[in-house]
Chain A
Amino acid sequence: MKTFQYERPADADTAVALLADAPTGAYLGGGTNLVDLMKLGVAAPDLLVDVSRLPFDAVEETGTGGLRIGAAVRNSTLAVHPLVRERYPVLSQALLSGASTQLRNAATVGGNLLQRTRCPYFQDVGKPCNKRRPGTGCPAREGAHRDLAVLGASEHCVATNPSDMAVALAALDAIVDVASGHGPRRVPLTDLHRLPGDAPDRDTTLRHGELITAVELPPPMPGARSAYRKARDRASYAFALASVGAVLQVREGLVHHVRVAFGALAAKPWRARTAEEALLGEPATTASFDDAVRHELAAARPLRDNGYKVPLARRMAVSMLTELAAASAGGTP
C-alpha cells in the first residue's frame, strides 16, 4: 500500500477545507471499501480525511414527519433503528441483506453510498478498466460479465453499483445533504449516482471535496407497503445478481402511488419511472405489474452472459409488488 497522510478533523468545515487542498485525497468513512481498494492498489489517496467521527451520527425525525439520517450513522445501527423498521421496512431489509455484521458495524451511510463497483476488472490493477484508468478499455464486455449491467451501460463501462441501501433509498425518494466550500446543497438520491456514458471514472455527480452529511427520507405514505428483495449466487453474503426495492400505495384496488428501484442492473440504482407511470391508476394486479415491468425492462441491453438478469429482475419485481398489493388489501403491515 502506498503511504498516505491521515487526518481526523473535529468538524465538517475543517474536513472540507483539508480535502479542498488535496486533489488526490479522500474521505474515509468506515473504510470497509476504501481500505480494501487501497490494499489492492486500486485507490491510492495521499491524504485520508477520517470523517467517521464527525457529529453526523444521529437519526432524527424531521418537522414534516420524515427521517434525517446522519452520514456517519453505521449501517448496523440504521438497520435495526425502530423508526426505520416501522416506517421504512424496505431500507431495513436492504441493509440487513447486505454485508455481514462485522462490516455493518463499521460501514457508514455516507460511505455505503460512495462505495465503488465490485467489477473484477476494476478491482484488478493488472487489467485495463476505463473506470479505474480512463481510456484503457473495458475487457468486461467480452470477458467475465455475468453479474454486470444490463441497463444504462455504455461501450466504455458495464459496471454495476453494488449498494443494497442505495436501491432502497432510491425507492424512498431520499435526498442527500452535501457540504462543501461553496456551502451546502441537496441532491436527490436518484441524481447522486451517474451512468457511465463516456466518463465512467465518475461514479457520482459530487464534485471533489464535497462531503455527504446526511440523508433525508420524506414522510412515509399513509398505508403504503414497502419491501426489498435480492437474488444472489449463494444464500447469503454475496453481492446481488438482481435486487428490487419498492413502495406501493393501493387505494380501492388501484395503484395510487408506486416507486420501484432495481439494484445490480446498472451503474446506479435504477428507478423504474416508466413502470411507475404506467401503473398509476391501474388495478393492483399481477397482470398490470407484469406489463409495466416488462415495459421498463424493454430498455435492457444484455451482454453475452447476463441476459438472465432481465427475467430474474422482472419476476422478483412482479411477485414483490403482487405481495405488497395483497398485504395492502389484507391490512397486514
Chain B
Amino acid sequence: MRLRVNGREFDEEPRAGQCLRTFLRGLGWFGVKKGCDAGDCGACTVHVDGEPVHSCLYPALRARDRAVTTVEGLAPADGELHRVQRGFLDAQGFQCGFCTAGFLMTTAALDDDKRADLPRAFKGNLCRCTGYRAIEDAVRGVKHTEEPAPGESVGRNLPAPAGPQVVTGTARYTFDVAVDGLLHLKILRSPHPHARIRAIDTTRALAVPGVRAVLTHHDAPERLFSTARHEHPEEDPDDTRVLDDVVRYVGQRVAAVVADSEAAAEEGCRRVEVDYEELPYVIDPEEAMRPGAPVIHPKGDEARIARPQDNVVGETHGEVGDVEAGFAQSDVLHEQTFRTQRVQHASLETHGAVAWFEGDFDAPDGRLVVRSSTQTPFLTRRALCTLYDLPQEKVRVVAGRVGGGFGGKQEMLVEDIVVLAALRTRRPVKLEYTRPEQFFGATTRHPFTIEVKAGASRDGLLKSMRMRIVSNTGAYGNHGPAVLFHGCGESFAVYRCPNKKVDGYAVYTNTVPAGAFRGYGLGQVVFAVESVMDELARRLDLDPMEFRRRNIIAADEEMIAPGGVEEDLHIGSYGLDTCVEVVRRAIAEPDHGEAPPDGWLVGQGAALSMIATGPPGGHIADARVVLQPDGGYELSVGTAEFGNGTTTVHRQIAAGELGTTVDRVTIRQSDTDVVRHDTGAFGSTGTVVAGKATLRASQALAALVLDFAAQHLGVARESCAMAEDAVVCAGRRVPLKELYEAARTADRELAADGHFGGTPRSVAFNAQWFRVAVDPASGEIRILRSVHAADAGQVMNPMQCRGQVEGGVAQALGATLFEEVVVDERGAVTTAAFRRYHLPTYADTPRTEVHFTPTRDAIGPLGAKSMSESPFNPVAPALANALRDATGVRFTRLPLTRDRVWLGLRDHGVAREA
C-alpha cells in the first residue's frame, strides 16, 4: 500500500494485523514509541492527515493513501525546530524523554482553545518522570534553560545534553535499533500460584513455522542467582533459576519460545504443553510465617535465606534502650497498624534487551553484546558471566537511553533469558516486555504492614518507638532483606528517642515478586512513622511541626536505628530544621492556593523524611576524562542515564573543573566498554558517587594539562590557568588543540581517571506539606496547595533538581491516591493495564512549590547531595495527615481512593448524605 510518512512516499505492505506503530517502526521511524500498546499512554501518538491518533490502536492498513507525521517529521524542512520542540527544549519539558514524542505530537495539534484547557488536552498522554510542570511550562513558552559560561557550570540551569535528540525523536532507546537476522523471544508464564512441572512437551511449539528454539528448565543452568543487582551479590538470597521446574507465582516464566517473528513466538507459547502438579500456596505474609504454611523455597544455607522453613527470607531485630520502660514513662501513647499496597514503577519503556554477537563468539575476540533497559550495565555483565561461566571480556552490556527506571531496572529480569537464547541459537535475540508483563512478570514495590507504638512525654518529647514490620517480598527474595533493613533505618534515626525497637520480617508469598523501588522501603515506613508523629502531637495538643522540631535530630547528633549503626553515615550538612521552617512558613501564610468547593472539609498536613545519599557497603564509580584532538574533552562514566539527569550534572562538573563550557564536553556512558567499573544508577548515587569520580577525574586532568602546558612553554606552573578552549600561561594563550598535538608528538595522552568507592555517605532531608479539601459526600480529595522543602546540599542544576522533586511528588501522589497492583485470591494480578492501574495524569498533578535549603555538604562532590528517591518518601503521610486534619479520621491504608475515603468517613460518621 502507498502512504506518505513525514513527506516521503512509501509503498510497503503491512503484515496482517499490524498496527500503525509497529509498521512505522519497521520503516525506521523509531521516534514512535511503544509504551502500553493499548491506547492508554499516548507515547505512540502520530498525526494521520493532521490529527493525533494512537498509532498502537490504528490498523496500519487504514493509513493507505494517507499522510502520516511522526515526531521526526514535526520540524519544518529548513533545519529549524518546530516551535513546540523549541518550547520543550527551553523548558526542559522531559526527563527520560520516552513520552516526549507523544506529548510533542499532541501539543502540536492543539489550537488556542485546547491549549487553554490542558487538563483535558493531555488526557491521552502519560509522563512518569516530570510531574508535568515542566511540560506545562514547555507548552506555555516558559524558558528555564541558561546559556553556558566557561568554568561556571555548577548551580546553573543548563540543559540535558540529549535534549535535541529527545525532541526530534532521534534519541535511541533500548529497542530503537535494527538488527539483521533478529529473533524474537516470548515467554510462556505460569497459570498457577505454586506448581511443580511434571513434564513439558515442546514438540507442537517447535512445529510452528518460524520457531527456532523452545527453552525450558532442562535448558537452564542449575545455578541459583538473584535478579536483584547489588555491588555485593550476597546481599540478596540466591533463590532464582533462569527457568525452574517449580513455579511460585502466577506469571512466572515456564518456557521461552524464540522465533523469526513475535507472532510465531506467541503461537509457539500457546502450543507448549505443560503438565503441572499443583501445590498448596499462600499469598498472605502473616499466614506464610505460620507453622504448616506451604514452604516456598525449601533450600539450603547456600541460598542465604534467613529461615526457609518459615518463609522468612530476611529479618531484623534490635532494641536500643528499653521500649517498655519508655512507654511507662510516656504521658501519651499511640498505637496503630499501617498498610501500604503493591505499586509498580510504570516506567514508560518496559523491560527488555537485545543481544547480538560481535564477530565469531568462539573466536578469541568474538563476544556477545547485550543492549538492555537497565540501571546496572556492569553488575548485569558480572551476573551474566557468573551464570553462564563466561569471562568478562566475552560480554559487553550497554544501555541506550533508558526510558525510566525508578529502581525497577536494578534487576536482571530479562537479560539472563535473552542471553541463554542467543547462546543457544547463535543468533541475535530480542525480548521486549509488553505492558501487561510489566505488571505480572516484573517487580513491584514491597507491600508493608507496619505496627507502630510510640509514646511521648507531656513536654512534647518522644520517649519510645516500637515497630513490627512485615514486608511481602513475593515469590522471590530479590531486594527483600535490603529493602526491609533500609526501611527501618533512616525512618527511626531521624528522631531523637531514647528507646527504639524493631522487629522486621521479609516474607515469601506466592505472588509477583517485589523489588527495588524509589525510596527502597523508606516510603512505606515513613508513612507509618509520620502518621504516628501527627497523632502524638494531636494528643499533646501541640502543633505537629512543633512536635517534630522538638524531636528531630540536631546537626551534631548521632543517627540511631535499632537495627544497627551505619558507621560510614554522617550528617554532611544539615538542612532538616530549615525544611521544617519552610513548611511552618507555608502553613502560616495567608491561603493563596485554590479555594475549596462549598461544603468540602479543608485541612493541612505535613511530613518529613531523611535518606542516606547512597547504599551501605560501598558503591563504586570510575570516570575518565580525555583531551580530544579538537581541544574538547571526552568524559566516560559507567552509570546509566534513565531520565535522572546525571549526564547533565556530570558534564557540568567536568566543565566547571576544566574551566570550559558544557558544550565542549562529550559524554560516553552506560557501557561496560567505557570505564573499568560502575556499580550502577541506583541508591541515589548518580550525582554523589559517579559525580565524585567525575570531579576527581576532571581535577586530575586539569592538573595534568596545566603541568604539561607549563612544561611545554617553559613557564612556571603557577602562571597557568585553564580557559574555555586554551590554557592561559602568563598572559599567553595556548589553544588546547595545540597542547593535544604537542602531547601526541611527545607520545603522551592527556587523560585522567577518577574513582570513588561511595563511602563515607551523607544524608538528605525532605519535607512535604499539603492543604487539601475533601468532599464528605463522595470521598473525593482535591489538593489545594503543595509545598516541598529539600536539603539537596549544593544544588548542581536547580531546574533539573526541581524536576526530580516534582516528579517524585507526582509519582508518590499516584501511590498515595490511586495506584494499586491488585492480586486476586490466587495471587494473580488483575490490574495489568494502565486503564486499571491509574498513573497520575496532568489533571491529577498539582503544581508543587519546591524550596531548596542553602546548605553545602561536606562529603558530596562540590557540596552536593542526592535528590532522586527522597522526594517520594514524605508525600503519603503528608496527605494522610492533611486528610486527618480535614476529617478527623486517620487513614492507615494506601491508596486513599475515593471509595475507601468515603467508607472511612461513613464508618466514623463524617460522611454527609446528599
Contacts and interface: CB of A to CB of B under 8 A. Distances in A.
Nearest to B189: A126
Contacts of B828: 126-127
Interface of B: 16-17, 19, 37-39, 42, 45, 51-54, 57-59, 61-62, 106, 109, 114, 119-121, 123-125, 191, 263, 777-780, 817-818, 822, 824-825, 828, 830-833, 835-836, 838, 840-844, 897-899, 902-903, 911, 913-914
Contacts of A239: 835
A96 B124 CA distance: 12
A76 B124 CA distance: 13
A117 B832 CA distance: 16
Interface residues of A, number: 56
Contacts of B817: 234
Interface stretch (A173-181, A192-200, A267-275, A310-318): A310-318
B58 A31 contact: yes
Given A101-B121, A120-B836, A236-B843, A1 B263 contact: yes
A221 interface: no
B51 A105 contact: yes
B119 A36 contact: no
Contact of A231 (B45, B51, B119, B898): B898
A3 interface: yes
Contacts of A126: 191, 828
A315 B914 CA distance: 5
Interface of A: 1-4, 6, 28, 31-32, 35-36, 38-39, 50, 52, 76, 96, 99-103, 105-106, 118, 120-121, 123-124, 126-127, 139, 142-144, 146, 231, 233-239, 241, 290, 305-306, 308-309, 311-312, 314-316, 318-319
Nearest to A48: B59
Contacts of B897: 233
B625 to A, nearest CB: 45
Contacts of A106: 53-54, 57-58
B124 A39 contact: no
Nearest to A120: B830
Given A142-B825, A144-B824, A233-B897, A238 B838 contact: yes
A6 B13 CA distance: 13
Contacts of B778: 231, 312, 315-316
Given A106-B58, A241-B898, A319 B17 contact: no
A233 B898 contact: yes
Contacts of A1: 17, 263
Contacts of B38: 36, 39
A308 B16 CA distance: 45
Contacts of A52: 62
Main SS at interface, chain A: loop
A234 B818 contact: yes
A39 B436 CA distance: 11
- Residue among A99, A146, A235 with the most chain B CB within 10 A? A235
A312 to B, nearest CB: 5
Contacts of A39: 37-38
A236 to B, nearest CB: 4
B830 A144 contact: yes
B53 A102 contact: yes
Contacts of B903: 308
A50 B62 contact: yes
Contacts of B121: 101
A115 B17 CA distance: 19
A306 B898 CA distance: 12
8 A-B pairs closest in CB distance? A100-B124, A315-B914, A235-B843, A236-B843, A100-B123, A237-B123, A308-B899, A102-B124
B832 A103 contact: no
Given A31-B59, A234-B840, A308-B779, 7 more contacts: A2-B17, A103-B57, A118-B836, A236-B120, A236-B123, A236-B841, A237-B124
Contacts of B61: 6
B824 A139 contact: yes
Given A6-B61, A102-B42, A241 B899 contact: yes
A86 to B, nearest CB: 16
A315 B54 contact: no
Contacts of B52: 101-102, 105
A308 to B, nearest CB: 4
Nearest to A50: B62
A319 B124 contact: no
Contacts of B54: 32, 102-103, 106
Contacts of A101: 52, 106, 109, 114, 121, 123-124
25 contacts: A2-B17, A4-B16, A28-B59, A52-B62, A100-B123, A101-B121, A102-B39, A103-B39, A120-B830, A120-B836, A139-B824, A233-B838, A234-B841, A235-B843, A236-B119, A236-B120, A236-B844, A237-B124, A237-B841, A238-B838, A290-B914, A305-B899, A308-B779, A311-B777, A311-B902
A237 B836 CA distance: 11
Nearest to A233: B818
Contacts of A28: 59
B913 A311 contact: yes
A143 B42 contact: no
Contacts of A100: 39, 42, 123-125
B904 to A, nearest CB: 11
Contact of A315 (B19, B777, B822, B832): B777
A144 B822 contact: yes
A259 B667 CA distance: 65
B830 A124 contact: yes
A7 to B, nearest CB: 11
Contacts of B824: 139, 143-144
B737 to A, nearest CB: 50
Contacts of A233: 818, 838, 897-898
A32 B39 contact: yes
Nearest to A104: B124
Nearest to A30: B57
Nearest to A1: B17
Contacts of B109: 101
A319 B775 CA distance: 13
B24 to A, nearest CB: 15
A13 to B, nearest CB: 22
A313 to B, nearest CB: 10
A312 B902 contact: yes
Given A101-B106, A235-B844, A239-B835, A3 B17 contact: yes
